[in-house]
Amino acid sequence: MPTVSRSRTATTTYLYVYDEFIQDRRYEKEVLKIENRLTDLGLAGKIARIGLFKRADELIREEVQRGLKTVVVVGNDATIRKVLDVVADEGVAFGIIPLGPENSLAQLLGIPEGVAACDVLSARIVETIDCGIVNGKRFVSGFSIENTDAEITCEGNYRVTPQEKGSIDVVNLSAVSMSDPRDGRLDAVIRVMHRSGGWMSRRRLGETSLPLRSLAIRSVQPLTAHADGVAFESNRFDISVEPLALRVITGKGRQF
């Protein structure tokens, strides 16, 4: 078991944040393996369990004041969303031990699931990457809206209006695009079906791609958007990039 610091003043180098669902019995064996491996690697640290503690962000801030250097999330994409803002604000290194479903961010960062992730933490390849911000909340991978013809204002200079309903993706880090999360830009991709000739012509997919530092999406009706896979609703999305905001531990198989 990793050592849990008892002292209120002791320095914690590593803080492991367990999501609530990790406490389910089905993850018990894998968690035990992870804890043993971390001890073997000399990476043991304090454990914070979301759901039992007051709030993960408050706990992280307290530990940073005591010298915390690295926060490691044990969970999935949703767990990362819960701590992303405080980790970026405090400038501590960020690691992931993926467990459970929907772990696309860990895949993009080249981190294998379960106990194998401990060796990635040990190798400690730290990359500093950009974060996207939508309505004041950060995201790592991307933001998307489906089935919309909402107007997009780009960097305050020009407007892009889809002629028909389509999708809008704002990508920071992706396996399918060549987007570089260290270039200080987000890649906005607007996909719209159109007819290239008359009304008899075949409908085709047009893919508009804009490297941007900021954009705003406005709609009369509220739209459902996803940021790092997490859904939320609004009729106004203000999106920008925060260059080199996150120090993240990556594996050799990272997608950038």
Q: Which two tokens stand for residue 218?
A: 């406005």
Cβ closest to other proteins, residue 194 vs residue 236 = 194
Question: CB of residue 95 vs other proteins: minimum separation in angstroms?
Answer: 26
The alpha carbons of the chain give a radius of gyration, in whole angstroms, of: 20
Residue given tokens 């669902």 in the structure block: 21
Tell me how far apart the alpha carbons of residues 242 and 22 are, in angstroms, rounded to a whole number: 31
Cβ closest to other proteins, residue 178 vs residue 231 = 178
Name the DSSP class of 52: T
Question: CB of residue 163 vs other proteins: minimum separation in angstroms?
Answer: 5
Question: CB of residue 169 vs other proteins: minimum separation in angstroms?
Answer: 10
Cβ closest to other proteins, residue 98 vs residue 181 = 181
Cβ closest to other proteins, residue 159 vs residue 236 = 159
Going by C-alpha positions, the residue among 12, 103, 146 that lies closest to residue 4 is 12
Tell me how far apart the alpha carbons of residues 62 and 40 are, in angstroms, rounded to a whole number: 27
Question: CB of residue 218 vs other proteins: minimum separation in angstroms?
Answer: 14
- Residue 27 contacts by C-beta under 8 Å, 6 or more apart in sequence? 21, 99, 100
Going by C-alpha positions, the residue among 73, 29, 67 that lies closest to residue 50 is 73
Q: Are 142 and 151 in contact (CB under 8 A)?
A: no
Question: CB of residue 81 vs other proteins: minimum separation in angstroms?
Answer: 25
Give residues in contact with other proteins (CB under 8 A). 157-164, 166, 176-180, 183, 185, 187, 190, 192-194, 196, 204-211
Cβ closest to other proteins, residue 84 vs residue 188 = 188
